[in-house]
Copies of this chain bind each other. A is one copy, B any other.
Amino acid sequence: MDMTVAKKKLGLKERYAVMTRGLDWTPSYQKMEDIYPYIAYEGIKIHDWDKWEDPFRLTMDAYWKYQAEKERKLYSVLDAFTQNNGHLNVTDARYLNTVKLFLSGISPLEYVAHRGFAHAGRQFPGPGPRVACLMQSLDEIRHAQTQVHAVSNYNKYYNGMHDFHHAHDRVWFLSVPKSFFDDAITAGPFEFMVSIGFSFEYVLTNLLFVPFVSGAAYNGDMAAMTFGFSAQSDEARHMTLGLEVIKFILEQDPDNVPIVQRWIDKWTWRGYRVLTLVAMMMDYMLPKRTMSWKESWEIYFEENGGALFKDLARYGIKMPQCAEQIALEKDHLSHQAWSTFYNYAAAANFHTWMPDEDEMEWLSAKYPNSFDKLYRPRYEFWREQAAKGNRFYNKTLPMLCQTCQIPMIFTEPGDPTKICYREVDYKGDKYHFCSDHCKAIFEHEPEKYVQAWLPVHQIYQGNCFPEGTDPTVEGFDPLAAVLKYYNLEHGRDNLDFDVSEDKKNFAEWRGQATKNI
């Protein structure tokens, strides 16, 4: 018989080898250290770059194919959502404040991540990590773009989103996520990969994208569900890359272990502090609660991170020490954060409010050890005051932690009635910290962190007023000047949800959408 046998296509592993290592070459007329100048100074020793392999074995051709499909789906849904007036289907208008926070706090980080992976990937002599970093870099700019597109629909109707990028670079609390990523991209390429690729992507992003986006879906926000899960489908790949990078570095040389352990310790804590915003989104800002911050933390950090560090134990890597303090904080984090934003509602680009009675009950049930004892009485007092017309807006400026840049709102580990306060004297100046972990990070790299652009210091130094402002004139209103600098309109973009234009407009529009007269 003369059967023709079809030539077998290359298998996935061979295709991956051909499309990564097969496309690489060894430079002949330039020295390796000139081409990859940042690869040595962090002290990481790599002996064989070819040991790095993407476990998904994704090659660029397949990457474009599946990303294009994700984009087509995403934009079909976004278009239909807008066409359908989907914004009126969110549970209630308070929900929109999560969108504002997401857009101004998180989307700009996606863009910085894009830059970070483009930069770090360029520095690695191995083709495997270069291709993986290129894909992640493209993913991240996609996320920034799709988030901006998705939210642009909300921006047509609701306040506070009109100049999100301007806000990201200026508004006080946004210096927390901004400085976190700035810290990462100004590190060396290996530390960047551990900070973002491993600690942030593998250990922490689940907490941002999974339960929150799942919650957004059940709060009627099909746009957030769609961009969120579309982004998260890339994150699954990022997480794999993050885990792979750690294993690769650790397997290359035992000298790498203590360096990597320090980075893991630092970046787990740094990332956790940034997630303070997410904790409060989950527990306070989704009108329909789907999972508490504490439950999310237990599933995605304690259980999942626990399994991870048990697995990494064979390399000598340990669960970061900060996990102990985090465990103590999980009953308090979201409440302390929300209290702060309730206080500072006059200076934010979104609205805050006191939870209603049902929501208080939900919080009691989810936080039996802390809520009724410590936070409910405070809320009830504020609610009472607001009902009397004394809604409290804190107009003094808080002390910030030099490392995480969060106001000093956190309590002593084990004593939730006492503010935790640490300080360090360095070259004649005093620096303040919210915790032992932020203090330790500073102490290891003081020359980096003394440069921090702290919003409160900057306001006091007169750097956060519109150009030409004279703060010495009589009756000068510093808050008004700062809001102008933020490009926020007092009484429209800030203050309590109850007095907001958003609340009024949403009620009116939803009414129009359901009534015939």
Contacts and interface: CB of A to CB of B under 8 A. Distances in A.
Contact of A76 (B73, B217, B225, B516): B73
Contact of A220 (B89, B288, B358): B89
Contact of A85 (B76, B218, B358, B517): B218
A84 B514 contact: no
Nearest to A512: B288
Most chain B CB within a 10 A radius of its CB, from A76, A81, A225: A76
Contacts of A287: 514
A80 interface: yes
Interface string A68-97: 000011101100110111100101100000
Nearest to A287: B514
A513 B91 CA distance: 8
Interface of A: 72-74, 76-77, 80-81, 83-86, 89, 91-92, 217-218, 220, 222, 225-226, 287-289, 358-359, 361-362, 513-517
A74 B72 CA distance: 11
Contacts of A76: 72-74, 76-77
A514 B85 CA distance: 19
A222 B80 contact: yes
A83 B517 contact: no
16 contacts: A72-B76, A77-B77, A80-B225, A84-B218, A84-B220, A84-B222, A84-B225, A89-B220, A91-B514, A218-B513, A287-B514, A288-B514, A288-B516, A289-B516, A361-B517, A362-B517
A5 to B, nearest CB: 31
A80 to B, nearest CB: 4
A153 to B, nearest CB: 14
Contacts of A89: 89, 220
A89 B220 CA distance: 8
Interface of A is mostly: helix
Nearest to A229: B83
A222 B86 contact: yes
Nearest to A77: B80
B222 A515 contact: no
A144 to B, nearest CB: 21
Given A76-B72, A89-B89, A81 B358 contact: no
Contacts of A517: 358, 361-362
Nearest to A81: B222
Contacts of A226: 80
A515 to B, nearest CB: 6
Most chain B CB within a 10 A radius of its CB, from A84, A89, A91, A220: A84
A457 B76 CA distance: 49
The 8 closest A-B pairs by CB, nearest first: A76-B76, A73-B76, A362-B516, A77-B80, A89-B89, A84-B222, A358-B517, A289-B516
Nearest to A516: B362
Contact of A84 (B217, B288, B358, B361): B217
A514 B362 CA distance: 13
A83 B220 CA distance: 10
Contacts of A220: 84, 89, 513
